[in-house]
């Protein structure tokens, strides 16, 4: 067999093997995006929120509403008003917010103002609290046309990605002034009766605005 007849098939085979590798080399490499991945929005960092509050003897009363401003994710200020068993209420405060995922622990200190009435059993206060013959079954009735309250509370909050949230709170408030009037059956109250402290529990539902 002539050498040329052997060389020709070998040459054709080599060329056919090179063709796919040359075609693959000509194909452009897939582009890899260098843009940074989008960071999910931090729903706790939203600046403004509105909420309604309901509960028993909360700083906002039985029912109220507030605007909440959060200049940073760990700090929130609230201001609003409501209606209590004794009349209208104004309230505001500052809350430390410690978020983790969709939940947060909160610690709040605030001030409120409004009218107040308070009844106490005479037997609880003791005879030294009154002048006159006061029966043990009597009730001391104290009233404030307006007084300021100092309140503190702890809260647990759940916030959805949409901005809707629910916050359960429990705390205590203390009246900061002596009553304007005090009455009791069979006698009179001693001047400068102590201002009361009472516990409260409440639930807030609100929406953090996506501005």
Q: How high is the pLDDT of residue 6? A: 54
Residue that the structure tokens 């046309």 belong to: 145
Tell me which CATH code domain 43-113+144-175+196-208 carries: 2.40.160.20
Q: What is the pTM of this model?
A: 0.74
Model confidence over 120-138: pLDDT tens digits?
A: 776 555 555 555 555 655 6
Residues 46, 211: contact at Cβ < 8 Å? yes
Burial of 95 (0-12, 13-18, 19+ CB in 10 A): buried
- Other CB atoms within a 10 A radius of the CB of residue 46 amount to 19
pLDDT-flagged residues of the chain (< 70): 1-39, 122-138, 185-188, 190-193
Q: Where are the domains of the chain?
A: 43-113+144-175+196-208
Nearby residues of 46 by Cβ (< 8 Å), 6 or more positions away? 70, 163, 208, 209, 210, 211
Q: Backbone dihedral region of 174: left (phi > 0), alpha (psi from -120 to 50 degrees) or beta?
A: beta
């Amino acid at each position: 067999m002539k050498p040329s007849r052997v060389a020709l098939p070998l040459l054709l085979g080599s060329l056919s093997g090179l063709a796919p590798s040359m075609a693959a080399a000509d194909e452009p490499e897939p582009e890899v995006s260098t843009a940074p991945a989008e960071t999910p929005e931090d729903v706790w960092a939203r600046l403004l929120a509105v909420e309604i509050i309901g509960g028993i003897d909360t700083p906002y009363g039985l029912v109220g509403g507030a605007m909440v401003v959060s200049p940073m994710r760990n700090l929130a200020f609230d201001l609003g008003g409501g209606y209590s068993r004794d009349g209208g209420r104004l309230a505001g405060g500052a809350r430390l917010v410690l978020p983790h995922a969709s939940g947060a622990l909160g610690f709040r200190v605030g001030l409120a103002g409004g009218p107040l009435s308070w009844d106490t059993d005479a037997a609880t206060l003791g005879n030294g609290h009154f002048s006159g013959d006061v029966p043990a079954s009597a009730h001391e009735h104290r009233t404030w046309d307006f007084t300021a309250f100092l309140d503190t509370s702890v809260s647990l909050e759940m916030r959805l990605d949409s901005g809707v949230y629910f916050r359960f709170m429990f705390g205590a408030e203390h009246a900061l002034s002596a009553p304007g009037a005090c009455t009791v059956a069979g006698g009179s109250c001693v001047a400068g009766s102590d201002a009361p402290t009472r516990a409260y529990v409440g639930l807030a539902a609100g929406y953090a605005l996506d501005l």
